[in-house]
Amino acid sequence: MCLAIPGQVVELFPDQPTAAMIDVVGVRRKVDLGLLQDDLPVKGDWVLIHVGFAMSKISEADAADQMRTLRMLGEAEAAMQEIEGYGLENSDNKKAS
Amino acid sequence: MMKFVDEFREPEVITWTSEQIRRLADPKRHYRIMEVCGGHTHAIYRFGLKDLLPSNIELIHGPGCPVCVLPMGRIDDGLSIALDPNIIFAAFGDMMRVPGTQGSPLEHKARGMDVRIVYSPSDALKLAETNPDKHVMFFAIGFETTAPSTALTLVRAKNQGIHNFSVFCNHVTIIPAIRAILDSPDMRIDAFIGPGHVSTVIGCRPYEWIAKNENKPVAVSGFEPLDILQSIVMVLRQLRDDEAKIENQYKRVVPWEGNRAALRAMADVFELRPYFEWRGLGFISQSALRIRDRYAEWDAEQRFDVPGVRVTDPKAAQCGEVLKGVLKPHQCKLFGKECTPEHPIGALMVSSEGSCAAYFNYEHRKTAMVNSITSAA
């Protein structure tokens, strides 16, 4: 659970300064930017995401490296499942709510 | 031996680094290097890195797997609160198969408890908003990588006035666990591979005492095969030169000072518990976080009756010895017999970051396969 997932900031929301839409290999979800409030990312920046929060800004090359590491570790599928599940978009919660 | 190297990025650099390790390692010495983080343990087994090291370098698997160090009593406590049908038990997927004395969260779900997997603490809060007639309790686990996200979620709950939400906090801190291991009389560690993502939050400074007071090298490491091998080079070089300092191999992600906003959020919401029980390590003082009184309304432990269950691990299971690195996973009496990833008895077998599951999935299955091929031939 310690692995972080790389994503690109594709949209910021003027009315929600602590949220951003990120794109992880084509899947888009909202993440919290609160942990980067001292140095907020801008559109196009790459970040590492952990449990729905962007935790550090990284370079595009490092983001690609990180994705490859996840694949090599056999964690890419779990990482995508996590991203897809953000915002209660997993079947478990969709059913109930 | 090196058959997997070709699959790595920059295989020639891997081979070169592995040779560098062989040159640095004094054949007259036996090195015990602890990788603190469960993510590193997983990577070491997955990539078969042991095969790239000389036999006198022993990697000891540390306590950095949050699921693995959580005592069973805490799972029982959390689940007992959620026996109330008005309460939704929300937790990360990693928690779902962790056994409590009356079964895992998943087994409680099968018996009718409202148990939900969430991928973020903020989604547990969202669950509370979408279920206003229920109370959502988020069962929080994790080291400093995860604790700031729980902290910010509590800040948001308070700011947004969401009252049907609470956190059952099991967040732990890595430094006291390292201290407990160094204080343990049956442990001898020569150097540490420091956790990568915990350090994005706490930075490198909190490890300085390990170098200064304990005279042990530390290299904060990334998770790629080359990262881990380079970190081993760093600590071996220090040991050769009789040095002890903190090196940051994972500079591309870890700032020396950590993430100040994350540290502020943690300080705002959490305070240190006087002591906390760790599976395998026992009670360690000031090693875990509790929710401050100003967030008492969102603290499940202050809001509900908590039985305070204490459970001793099954006697035959030797999780404690494995967790401290005294025993290798396969030396436990239950390993691969009663205790497997499909039917875990101890938590080290549940999480993919647990050393038993990692050993079982890679080493044990590899050996079993080789044995079946040899016996068939």
Q: What's the number of domains chain A is made of?
A: 1
Residue B167 domain flag: yes
Q: Which phi and psi angles does A34 have, rounded to 5°?
A: -55, -30
Going residue by residue through chain A (97 aa), what tens digit of pLDDT does each one get?
567 999 999 999 999 989 999 999 999 999 999 999 999 999 999 999 999 999 999 999 999 999 998 998 888 999 999 999 999 987 666 544 4
**Band of pLDDT at residue B3, cut at 50, 70 and 90:** very low
Of A35, A48, A51, the CB nearest to B262: A35
Distance from CA of A47 to the nearest CA of B (A): 10
Question: B205: Cβ–Cβ under 8 A, 6 or more apart, which residues?
Answer: B246, B256, B257, B258
User: Are B292 and B347 part of one and the same domain?
Assistant: no
For residue A35, list chain B residues with Cβ-Cβ distance below 8 A. Answer: 148-149, 152, 259, 261-262, 265
Among chain A, residues having any CB pair with chain B shorter than 8 Å are 1-4, 32, 34-38, 48, 50-53, 55-56, 58-59, 62, 65, 68-69, 72-75, 81-83, 85-88, 90, 92-93, 96-97
Residue B22 domain flag: no
Q: Are B280 and B319 in contact (CB under 8 A)?
A: yes
Q: What does the pLDDT average to over B229-256?
A: 97
Point out the domain boundary residue: B279, B303, B327: B303
Contact between A2 and B196 using a beta-carbon 8 Å cutoff: yes
For B169-184, how does the pLDDT look when each residue is reduced to its tens digit (9 = 90+)?
Answer: 999 999 999 999 899 8
User: Are B160 and B119 part of one and the same domain?
Assistant: yes
**Band of pLDDT at residue B369, cut at 50, 70 and 90:** low
DSSP alpha helices (H): ranges in B111-146? 121-130
Residue B119 domain flag: yes
Residue B139 domain flag: yes
For residue A50, list chain B residues with Cβ-Cβ distance below 8 A. Answer: 145-146, 149, 197
Contact between A73 and B223 using a beta-carbon 8 Å cutoff: yes
Q: Provide the CATH number for the domain around residue A51.
A: 2.30.30.140
Residue A95 domain flag: no
Q: Are B333 and B356 in contact (CB under 8 A)?
A: no
- Residue of chain A with shortest Cα separation from B117: A92
Separation of alpha carbons B47 and B18, rounded Å: 13
SS (H, E, C) chain A: CCCCEEEEEEEEECCEEEEEEEEECCEEEEEECHHHCCCCCCCCCEEEEECCEEEEEECHHHHHHHHHHHHHCCCHHHHHHHHHHCCCCCHHHHHHC
Separation of alpha carbons B34 and B206, rounded Å: 17
- Domain containing residue A18: 5-89
User: What pLDDT is stored for residue A93 in this prediction?
Assistant: 64
User: What pLDDT is stored for residue B1 in this prediction?
Assistant: 38
For residue B224, list chain A residues with Cβ-Cβ distance below 8 A. Answer: 65, 68-69, 72
**What's this model's pTM, rounded to 2 decimal places?**
0.93
Residue A97 domain flag: no
Distance from CA of A44 to the nearest CA of B (A): 18
Residue A32 domain flag: yes
User: What pLDDT is stored for residue A97 in this prediction?
Assistant: 40
Is a pLDDT exceeding 80 seen at residue B87? yes
For B258-310, how does the pLDDT look when each residue is reduced to its tens digit (9 = 90+)?
Answer: 999 999 999 999 999 999 999 888 899 999 999 999 999 999 999 999 988 88
Residue B24 domain flag: no
Cβ neighbours of B183 (radius 10 Å): 10
Residue B92 domain flag: yes
Q: What does the pLDDT average to over B43-62?
A: 93
Distance of CA B30 to the CA centre of its chain: 26
Separation of alpha carbons B197 and B267, rounded Å: 19
Q: What does the pLDDT average to over B40-63?
A: 93
- Mapped onto helix, strand or coil, the DSSP state of residue B272 is strand
Point out the domain boundary residue: B303, B327, B344: B303
- Mapped onto helix, strand or coil, the DSSP state of residue B329 is helix
Q: Which phi and psi angles does A87 have, rounded to 5°?
A: 75, 25
Q: How many residues does chain A have?
A: 97
Question: B219: Cβ–Cβ under 8 A, 6 or more apart, which residues?
Answer: B191, B192, B193, B194, B230, B231, B232, B234, B235, B246, B247, B248, B249
- Mapped onto helix, strand or coil, the DSSP state of residue B223 is coil
Of A73, A92, A97, the CB nearest to B131: A97
Separation of alpha carbons B181 and B215, rounded Å: 15
User: What pLDDT is stored for residue A2 in this prediction?
Assistant: 62
- When scoring B122, B155, B228 by the number of chain A Cβ atoms within 10 A, the one with the most, hence best to mutate, is B122
% of residues, chain B, pLDDT over 70: 95
Q: What does the pLDDT average to over B109-124?
A: 97
Residue B344 domain flag: yes
Separation of alpha carbons B98 and B70, rounded Å: 10
Higher model confidence: residue B254 or residue A73?
B254
Q: How many residues does chain B have?
A: 377
* Least confident piece of the model among B228-232, B312-316, B336-340: B312-316
Is a pLDDT exceeding 90 seen at residue B311? no
Q: What's the number of domains chain B is made of?
A: 2
* Least confident piece of the model among A1-5, B26-30, B187-191, B195-199: A1-5
For residue A92, list chain B residues with Cβ-Cβ distance below 8 A. Answer: 116-117
The single residue listed with the structure tokens 């148990």 is: B115
User: Are B90 and B132 part of one and the same domain?
Assistant: yes
Interface A–B counts its CB contacts (< 8 A) at: 135
User: What pLDDT is stored for residue B26 in this prediction?
Assistant: 97
Contact between A1 and B92 using a beta-carbon 8 Å cutoff: yes
Separation of alpha carbons B355 and B325, rounded Å: 10
Is a pLDDT exceeding 50 seen at residue B2? no
Of A32, A48, A75, the CB nearest to B152: A32
User: Are B168 and B115 part of one and the same domain?
Assistant: yes
Residue A77 domain flag: yes
* Least confident piece of the model among B67-71, B191-195, B309-313: B309-313
Residue A44 domain flag: yes
Q: Provide the CATH number for the domain around residue B158.
A: 3.40.50.11740
Q: Does B134 touch chain A (CB under 8 A)?
A: no
User: Are B296 and B356 part of one and the same domain?
Assistant: no
Residue A96 domain flag: no
Question: B167: Cβ–Cβ under 8 A, 6 or more apart, which residues?
Answer: B121, B137, B138, B140, B150, B153, B154, B291, B298, B299, B300
User: What pLDDT is stored for residue B75 in this prediction?
Assistant: 95
Contact between B122 and A92 using a beta-carbon 8 Å cutoff: no
Of B127, B197, B261, the CB nearest to A2: B197
Determine how β-strand A16-24 pairs with β-strand A5-13: antiparallel
Contact between A52 and B149 using a beta-carbon 8 Å cutoff: yes
Q: What does the pLDDT average to over B316-327?
A: 82
DSSP state of B363: I
Residue A42 domain flag: yes
For residue A48, list chain B residues with Cβ-Cβ distance below 8 A. Answer: 197, 200, 253
H or E element, residue B194: strand B191-194
Is a pLDDT exceeding 90 seen at residue B335? yes
- Domain containing residue B293: 68-172+288-303
Q: What does the pLDDT average to over B353-373?
A: 79
Contact between B118 and A56 using a beta-carbon 8 Å cutoff: no
Structure tokens at B36: 């603190």
Q: Are B89 and B105 in contact (CB under 8 A)?
A: yes
Is a pLDDT exceeding 70 seen at residue B5? no
User: What pLDDT is stored for residue A6 in this prediction?
Assistant: 97
Sequential DSSP letters for B38-64: HHHHHHHHHTTGGGGS-TTEEEEEEEE
Q: What does the pLDDT average to over B201-212?
A: 98
Residue B196 domain flag: no
